[in-house]
A and B are shown apart, each in its own frame.
Chain A
Amino acid sequence: MLESAAHVGLQAPDGPLSLDKFGAESARIGREVADGYHRYHIDTEEVDDVNPLPHRFLVTVGKVGLAKLITKEAMTYFRPWDPHFDVILSRPCTYGVFSGPLGGFIPRPKLCVGCLRCEVQHPEFVKVLPNPELLKMGDSYTTHGHIAAIDEEAKKGMVPVRGQGYRGRFGGPGFDGMLTDMSEIVRPSRDGIHGRELIGTAVDIGSKPMHLSFDSDGKLSGSTPEMFTIQVPFVFDLPPGDLDSPRLAKVVESTSRRIDTLACLDAHTVAKNRLDAPNVVPVLDNAEAFRASEFPRARLIELRSTPDRPWGWDAGGFDLAREVSDAIIGIRIHFEEGWQDRMTKAVESGAKVIHLLADLHGRGSDGTFVTELFKEAHMILLEQGRRDTVTLLGGGGIVGADHVPKAIISGLDAVALDLPVLFALQGRSNGSLRQRAKVTGTLPRELDREWAEQRLTNLCGSWRDQLLEILGAMGIREVRRLRGEFGRSMVVRHLEDEAFEGIAGYVGGGS
């Protein structure tokens, strides 16, 4: 007992421990352990809107029709001895759309949830319409639905919960074509209400040796783990397009520190704003690899291709960066032609972190979706017997909480977030959101740092909690075990082939 007390760093009592002191001493140790206990958790807190989304619905009320109704009801129901105010003043909305000072004459559409009771009850003069301003947000991949979900998650930090069943299309392209599995009996642990309480979301960044070697004296020889741990399987990636700015970099940096993850930031921004920190990943052009020494606190530095060698592998830059820095040097690889070869060469050269990048619709240059690309990358390393020696980060097309576990199932260790940051901070985009370099958007003019940090923290808290839901349903206790677990996913196309095979007209392959 005392050994274990010492083991956890507690003060052992003077002298031998007698039986009568045992209980009190045990309690003291228990208390100290409890006081020193820390369970990872993201503290979320609802924050106000600075640049609210257009509300979901528009509500129009015909003033003449309403006046006629009130008059008619007053004449029908009012009696001096029993005025029936409850009837005359009753409103067909429980959400307060018609509860402003002037009732239905000046409705409050921002409170409308689209139940349509008012429109059904008074079809002559009430109309509820989907708000076109909201519908036109985003683009064909990152839809207004994604943006609204991110906005809600960043505002409240909670898992979006609603009544009624699923409202969308059956399966679909990209991530929508993948379902996650569940177990009827197994759960992560038998502790707690749902067993989700003890699920771990920490992931390791870097390299684990495939085996340990010992010398004749029993001492460890050979390679040792070269890695560190972050608490969530997602990191912030470089802001796409024209969104990069010092004020955004500062918010992303402080948020990543707060939730114990990483923020990939342009190395020049890091240097200029003195943001070098263990949670910051400076991203350098390969040609500037020598500058890696300028970031002594960084645990991970990423190199990206120089523009003149987009598909090649420049071992020189990598070697130089490794020489001048103690940080793990990661390589950013776009899913362009020949990426497999480039990744293999990078790993053979000693790269411990590969950061894979698709376009923001989740497609490689040949149109393949990231679930397939991540899987291919994972399988290449697996077949080479190197998978645990490399961390795979990946990004592109990750705009919903469900995309995180699906990307990890596809083979990633952790996911990189790009566009969600923009929408979590109530920024607005213009035009297509496909090409990273061409994204244009605006952030709120007054980007209050505290507000912005809480919004991003809320988003991360919500996405982590939703990841816990997925893991809990599967009975998986830590996210590390989800990596590459294709068997815990179901592909709608394959299920359809199995279910509809032989039915006239079904030709398979998502026809």
Chain B
Amino acid sequence: MALLQELMDAYEGKIVKPSDALLHKTTTLLQDGMNARAFGEFEKPEALGDARWTDELILSTWYMAETGKVPDELNFKTGESDGGFDRLDFQFLQEDDWLEHSDAIDTKLPLNRRGDGKNEIEIDIPWYGGGMSYGSVSVNVMMSRAKNAKHWNTLMSTGEGGYPPELYEVKENVITQVATGYFGVEEETIQAAPIIEFKYAQGAKPGLGGHLLAAKAGEEVAKLRGSVPFVSLFSPFPFHSTYSVEDHSKHLDWIETVNPKALLSVKVSTPHDVDMVAVGSYYAGAHIIHLDGGYGGTGAAPEIAKKNIAMPIELAIPKVHKFLQKEGVRDKVTLIASGGVRTADDIAKAIALGADGCVLGTTDLVGMGCTRCSNCEGGPSGRGCPWGLTTTDIELQEWVQQDWGSRRLDNLYTALQWRLRDILRKLGLSNVRELRGRTDLLSYISKEAGE
């Protein structure tokens, strides 16, 4: 009878934590399958990719995540969105003037430019991991990213979903996010973090707040968020305690009281007055102004918001950079860009447009297998990502094991850093910080030329 029951459960696809044998089979097939595609052993899947993340961009990211090297056969630099980063290029020097490709090309980025006695944090690469909350992703994904952040002496944001206990193991590399629902915001999680990130808005759904669907708010998620299991959760827009820049300043004062050494990051979207918002944030005490552009990632957002509300990051960076310069405060604040930054080339272009560094989110997920099918929020199955990324389903989340995930990201970051250095040396720069605001090193591929 037990065997029959087991047979029936298997036939019906009963959802349970996978056995070791199933785990081994599935992860082996998935990982081998990704490699087979990335290495060109099979043709590119016809349904893979979109204008922003083309099939080649996804496959090249898989390639880099497996090998730590950039591919020869795939376009790992740009998408086909017909604008923004995809129409910008670099004006490289003549080959004779290129620098040697070496580790001596400095990619470090200091984050505290205020000289105010708070944490002096310098990360080894000019990017860190964007917020993805526990609940929107599994602990395995969070820890894969966090471990990789530690390995690379960079950072990863918690997103707004609490602080799983496992994260304390790498707390020096974890940013605690305070967002409008205050989920998981506690004295300990603020005191543990080197940086506190205030999320005012998110590029993919600016001005709309967040919504974790009930199916994804399971027991563990609810426990960390202090909520009732399987009840959907709203993160309202905006902070109900903020009516003005003075109220914003009050927020930052509150954090300073709880953790006097922490750096303060303010994450905002990109409305038409984003330059004013940035300057206001600086004067309120922010060390980092984090702009999240309209084409950024999300676990769930109305389609109308993704496409239409607020501006793409490529257009916001120069606006803010120039305004901070005009105000005479550009060198006292770190400008971080996210929302549609996919590749090392995008990072370099964002910096050339005026950012100091970038935040990556989707790129990490693609490195771990994401095909951008857009079913993160649950999809018709209600279980979340079938690849085990944006899910807390007890079976699916096991497809991403922490060691494998962090190894993939390590490789990916190795390739990204290699390419960033490659760009810098071809521009004759020995330091990524020299690239900031150097729009003279960029060129625009006009539609006529591109075609």
User: A184's contact among B22, B277, B307, B374, by CB below 8 Å, is which?
Assistant: B277
Q: Residue B26 at the A interface, CB < 8 A?
A: yes
Beyond A179-B311, A182-B269, 10 additional contacts (C-beta under 8 Å) are: A85-B10, A86-B10, A163-B375, A165-B204, A165-B339, A167-B51, A168-B307, A170-B84, A184-B268, A187-B237
Contact B22 A86 (CB under 8 A): yes
Cross-chain contact B207 with A474 (CB below 8 angstroms) = yes
Q: Which residues of B contact A490 (CB under 8 A)?
A: 272, 311
Per the bound structure, the CA–CA distance linking A511 and B29 in Å amounts to: 46
Q: How far is the CA of A123 from the CA of B39 in the complex (A)?
A: 13
B208's partner among A86, A89, A178, A473 (CB-CB below 8 A) is A473
| Interface, chain A (partner B; CB < 8 A) | 57, 73, 77, 83-96, 99, 111, 113-117, 119-124, 127-130, 149, 159-172, 176, 178-187, 190, 193-195, 401-402, 406, 466, 469-470, 472-475, 487, 490, 492, 495-496, 498-500, 502-507, 511
Q: Do B444 and A503 have beta carbons less than 8 Å apart?
A: yes
Please tell me if the beta carbons of A182 and B319 are within 8 angstroms of each other in the complex: no
**Minimal beta-carbon separation of B359 from chain A (angstroms):** 13
A57 and B315 contact, CB distance less than 8 A: no
Q: Are A164 and B304 in contact (CB under 8 A)?
A: no
Whether B425 is near chain A, meaning CB under 8 Å from some CB there, is no
Please indicate the chain A residues that have their CB under 8 angstroms from the CB of B372 in the complex.
Answer: 164, 167
Decide if B445 is an interface residue (CB 8 Å cutoff): yes
A498 contacts which chain B residues (CB < 8 A)?
315, 318-319
Asked whether B314 lies within 8 Å of A168 as measured between CB atoms, the reply is no
Residue ranges of B at the interface with A (Cβ–Cβ < 8 Å)? 3, 6-7, 9-11, 13, 16, 18-19, 21-22, 25-26, 29-30, 33-34, 36-37, 41-42, 45-48, 50-53, 81-84, 86-88, 91, 200-201, 203-204, 206-209, 234, 236-240, 242-244, 248, 268-269, 271-272, 277, 294-312, 314-319, 339-340, 353, 362, 369-377, 379-381, 383, 385-387, 390, 396, 439-440, 442-449
Most buried by B among A92, A160, A185, A506: A185
Q: Report B-chain residues with C-beta under 8 Å of the C-beta of A401.
A: 304
A120 touches B33 (CB 8 A): yes
Query: What is the CA–CA distance of A123 and B203 in the complex, to the nearest angstrom?
Result: 35
Which residues of A are found within 8 Å of B87, using beta-carbon distances?
A: 170
Say which residue of B18, B301, B319 sits within 8 Å of A162 (CB atoms). B301
Set B51, B319, B449: member contacting A499, Cβ < 8 A: B319
> Closest 10 CB pairs between A and B?
A163-B376, A170-B83, A473-B207, A182-B207, A506-B444, A85-B10, A167-B50, A120-B33, A115-B373, A505-B444
Closest Cβ–Cβ distance, residue B6 to chain A (whole Å): 5
In contact, A159 and B302 (Cβ under 8 angstroms): yes
Contacts of B376 in A (CB 8 A): 162-164
With both beta carbons as reference points, the residue of chain A lying nearest to B281 in the complex is identified as A184
Contact B380 A111 (CB under 8 A): yes
Q: Could you tell me the distance in whole angstroms from the C-beta of B232 to the nearest C-beta in chain A?
A: 11
Smallest beta-carbon distance A168→chain B, Å: 6
Q: How far is the CA of A466 from the CA of B301 in the complex (A)?
A: 12
Q: Which residue of B lies closest to A182 (CB)?
A: B207
Q: How far is A162 from B339 in the complex, measured between Cα atoms in Å? A: 16
Distance A128 CA – B42 CA, assembled complex (angstroms): 13
Q: In the complex, which residues of chain A have a beta carbon less than 8 angstroms from the beta carbon of B19?
A: 84, 86-87
Instruction: Across the interface, name the chain A residue whose C-beta is closest to B317.
Output: A499
Closest B residue to A91 using CB positions: B13
Contact A95 B244 (CB under 8 A): no
A120-B33, A165-B296 given; A182·B271 CB < 8 A: yes
Give Cα A130 to B373, complex, Å: 13
Contact residues in A for B25 (Cβ distance below 8 Å): 73, 77, 87, 90
Q: Are the CB atoms of B47 and A129 closer together than 8 Å? A: yes
Complex alpha-carbon distance, A500 and B10, angstroms: 57
* A89 adjacent to B33 (CB under 8 Å): no
B303 and A162 within 8 A (CB): yes
| 21 A–B pairs (Cβ distance < 8 Å), ordered by A | A83-B7, A113-B373, A115-B373, A115-B375, A116-B373, A121-B26, A163-B375, A164-B373, A164-B376, A167-B374, A169-B51, A170-B83, A172-B82, A179-B308, A181-B272, A184-B268, A193-B209, A473-B208, A474-B207, A490-B311, A511-B448
- Tell me the complex Cα distance, A229–B21, Å: 66
CA distance A498 to B311 in the complex (A): 13
Main secondary structure of the interface of B (DSSP, over half): loop
Query: Cβ of B244 and Cβ of A185 under 8 Å apart?
Result: yes
Contact A95 B386 (CB under 8 A): yes
* Complex Cα spacing A107 to B36, Å: 24
**A175: nearest residue on chain B (CB-CB)?**
B308
Give A161 to B213 CA distance when docked, in angstroms.
11
Tell me the minimal C-beta distance from B194 to chain A in angstroms.
25
Q: Separation in Å of the A58 CB from the closest CB of chain B? A: 9
B306 neighbours in A (Cβ, 8 Å): 165-166
B318 lies within 8 A of A499 (CB): yes
How many angstroms from the CA of A502 to the CA of B441 in the assembled complex? 11
Q: How far is the CB of A504 from chain B (nearest CB, A)?
A: 4
Which of A83, A128, A130, A185 lies in contact with B6, CB distance below 8 A? A83
Q: How far is the CA of A505 from the CA of B91 in the complex (A)?
A: 11
B81 lies within 8 A of A180 (CB): no
Contact of B377 among A92, A123, A163, A505 (CB under 8 A): A163
Partner pick for B45 among A91, A128, A178, A472, CB 8 A cutoff: A128
Of all chain B residues, which has the CB nearest A500? B444
- CA–CA, A182 and B207, complex, Å: 6
Q: Would B236 and A193 count as touching, CB distance under 8 A? A: yes
Nearest CB to that of A57 among chain B residues?
B47
Minimum CB–CB distance for B234 against chain A, Å: 5
Q: Which residues of A contact B86 (CB under 8 A)?
A: 170
The distance in angstroms between the C-alpha atoms of A234 and B383, with both chains bound, is 37
Is B297 a contact of A165 with CB atoms below 8 Å?
yes
Q: Which residues of A contact B53 (CB under 8 A)?
A: 167
Q: Which residue of B lies closest to A466 (CB)?
A: B304
Q: Do A182 and B443 touch (CB < 8 A)?
A: no
Give chain B residues whose Cβ lies under 8 Å from the Cβ of A178: 308
With both chains docked as a complex, state the minimum distance between the C-beta of A323 and any C-beta of chain B, in angstroms. Answer: 45
Which residues of A sit under 8 angstroms from B7, Cβ to Cβ?
A: 83, 85, 89
Closest chain A residue to B297, Cβ basis: A165
> Taking CB as reference atom, which chain B residue is nearest A168?
B51
A182 touches B34 (CB 8 A): no
Q: Within the complex, what minimum Cβ distance (angstroms) separates B436 from chain A?
A: 15
Specify the chain A residue showing the minimal Cβ separation from B445.
A505
In-complex Cβ contact of A505 among B18, B206, B443 (8 A) = B443
B21 to chain A, nearest CB (A): 5
The CB with the most chain B CB atoms within 10 A, among A84, A91, A129, is that of A84
Query: What's the minimum C-beta distance from B136 to chain A, rounded to whole angstroms?
Result: 9
A320 to B262, CA, bound (A): 76
Q: Which residue of B lies closest to A129 (CB)?
A: B46
Inter-chain CA distance A472–B81, complex, in Å, is 28
Give bound CA distance, A163 to B47, whole Å.
17
Min C-beta distance of B4 to chain A, whole Å: 10
User: Whole-angstrom distance between the alpha carbons of A414 and B274 in the complex?
Assistant: 30
Contact B439 A502 (CB under 8 A): yes
Contacts of B449 in A (CB 8 A): 505
- Asked if residues A168 and B299 are in contact (CB atoms below 8 Å), the reply is no
CB < 8 Å neighbour of B298 from A123, A130, A164, A502: A164
A157 to B375, CA, bound (A): 19
Quick check: A190 and B81 within 8 Å, CB to CB? Answer: no
Q: How far is the CA of A178 from the CA of B304 in the complex (A)?
A: 13
Q: Which residues of B contact A87 (CB under 8 A)?
A: 19, 21-22, 25
A176 CA / B238 CA spacing, docked (Å): 27
Would you call A187 and B52 a contact (CB within 8 A)? no
Q: Do residues B33 and A121 form an inter-chain contact, with CB atoms below 8 A?
A: yes
* A57 and B46 alpha carbons, distance in the complex (Å): 10
- Which residues of chain B are within 8 angstroms of A176 by Cβ–Cβ distance? 307
Given contacts A159-B302, A165-B295, is CB(A95)–CB(B307) below 8 Å? no
